[in-house]
Amino acid sequence: MQGMNDQMGATLDDVVILEQTVEPWIILRRMVLVPSLQLILIACLVMQVMVLFEKAFMALSSWYGRFLGPRPHRIYMCDPIEEDEELGSLAYPMVLVQIPMYNEKEVYQLSIGAACILTWPADRLIVQVLDDSTDPVTKVLVEQECQKWRKKGINVKYETRKDRAGYKAGNLKEGMKHEYVQHCEYLAIFDADFQPEPDFLMKTVPFLVHNPRLGLVQARWKFVNPGESLMTTIQRMTLDYHFKIEQESGSSMFSFFGFNGTAGVWRISAMIEAGGWKDRTTVEDMDLAIRANLKGWKFVYVPDVKVKSELPGTLKTYRKQQHRWMCGAANLFRKMWKEILFTKGVSFWWKFYLLYDFFFARKVVSHLVNFSLYNVVIPVAVLVPEINLPVWIVAYLPTIMTLLTATENPRLIHIIPFSVLFENVISMHRMKSTLVGLFEAARVNEWVVTEKSGGTTNTKTRTPESHILKKPSLISVDRINLSEIGFAAFLLFCATCDLLYGDDYYFVYMYLQSISFIVVGVGYVGK
């Protein structure tokens, strides 16, 4: 008996010790973790509602402009320009076509060739190739291509500079300093992988000629390689939404949107009045557009004019591109909010639209909430029983936003689940880039040119999903992404805990999302 009593006493002592050890954690969880997580959840909910209303507003604006409101051709005069019997080709304004490039060995012929066959009087057109290439072989090839077209009677200018100061913005700014530019009224810009149709200028320049307060005409992008992989298909869906909803709603409701940096035509006098190109961020196009808009210039988006371009084919390239776009936009918001707020002659509501709708909701909040809510807060919340996760936060709101996006690509509705999972993975990098831009941390002005392959996928014979299951090369070390793999382990842990101890089905989503992180983590995405 004495031995049994001793054993029971020892067991009770162990229980007491365990309770004393666990009690601080219980107190910490109740006093700190639970309230903090509840506040973060509320903040995420508020941001999610902000994004939802913004998306709904843009969708309604776009649909109104598309189905009920007047189209650009009815709002603005855009009668074709015709040669005058007396003036001849002088009836056409002088147009400068700029093609900035940097080691674009795969696509330089496509862009230069497309610019040189534009339907426009040869004596009223200047094609300016701004070559920042550091590869001597590429520089020779580009210069030879310019000489070839010059011999055919096209006025092609091949321009270089000593260094890459300011990157693309610095290159464009330097190109505007040449004496012959002073004779041009309009400027068309095409990145090195963009291939306009011959009638591009005929369809866009008349808007500027007949409407003196229009400063910019933006065309829509279309893609030569949307069916190259599942990643490029998802990119197509994202960019289609951008052009069909964001750009179209901005054009129809406000005569303003962010310039896409290419496939557009500027009135040079509007650019000069706005201060020209600046290299203070990696989104020099958006910077110029906002400054021009604050000066009273209006923009028009013409969805019927489409320019071929190439989507990033590798995950590394896509991530670099996204960093440049997200970081640059957030950094521009940091630099311009005071300028927008205190600009005279601009109405309060217009400033509110620029600061809240255009910048804060779209360029900051949307990138912060996507990752923090669905990849952090929800997984952590399932580990804390005191936190209640209403199903409308987890399921209903994201479903509504997904459907708003899916309406623009009904043929790709079956890709939506893959798109949601992939976008949630990429949201980790988008949030990081947004924070880098907001706080001007390291890499804030990092500029990496998007690599191109020059591919010309035939979209008529190749469906968008035809290569979804195509196996890439074997996994190699340089394709491994440790951050994604680490986060996949975290999601797997949370999902397993929810499966074993939870009374909901959130683990289904977390398991699927963890698999997506693993797929991206081992580089099994893209080409």
Give me the active site residues, please. 132, 285
How far apart, in Å, are the Cα atoms of 38 and each of 27, 63, 172, 490, 501?
A: 16, 37, 49, 20, 20
Query: CB 411: neighbour CB atoms within 10 A?
Result: 8
Which among 266, 289, 275 has a CA at the least distance from the CA of 186? 266
For residue 99, give the 3-state DSSP assignment: strand
| Rounded Cα–Cα distance for residues 216 and 270 (Å) | 8
- Sheet-wide strand order for 125-131: 156-159, 125-131, 95-101, 186-189, 264-267, 214-223, 298-309
- What are the tokens at 210? 């007949």
- What are the tokens at 94? 């002088």
Contact partners, residue 515, CB within 8 Å, separation at least 6? 421, 488
**8 Å CB contact between 103 and 138:** yes
Measured between its terminal Cα atoms, the distance across the chain in Å is 74
Q: Which stretches within 408-461 are classed as H helix?
A: 416-439
| Rounded Cα–Cα distance for residues 203 and 49 (Å) | 40
Backbone angles phi, psi at 225, to 5 degrees: -135, 40
| Residue 317 CA neighbour count, 13 Å, CB half | 16
| Rounded Cα–Cα distance for residues 30 and 420 (Å) | 34
Which among 298, 303, 302 has a CA at the least distance from the CA of 215? 298
For residue 159, give the 3-state DSSP assignment: strand
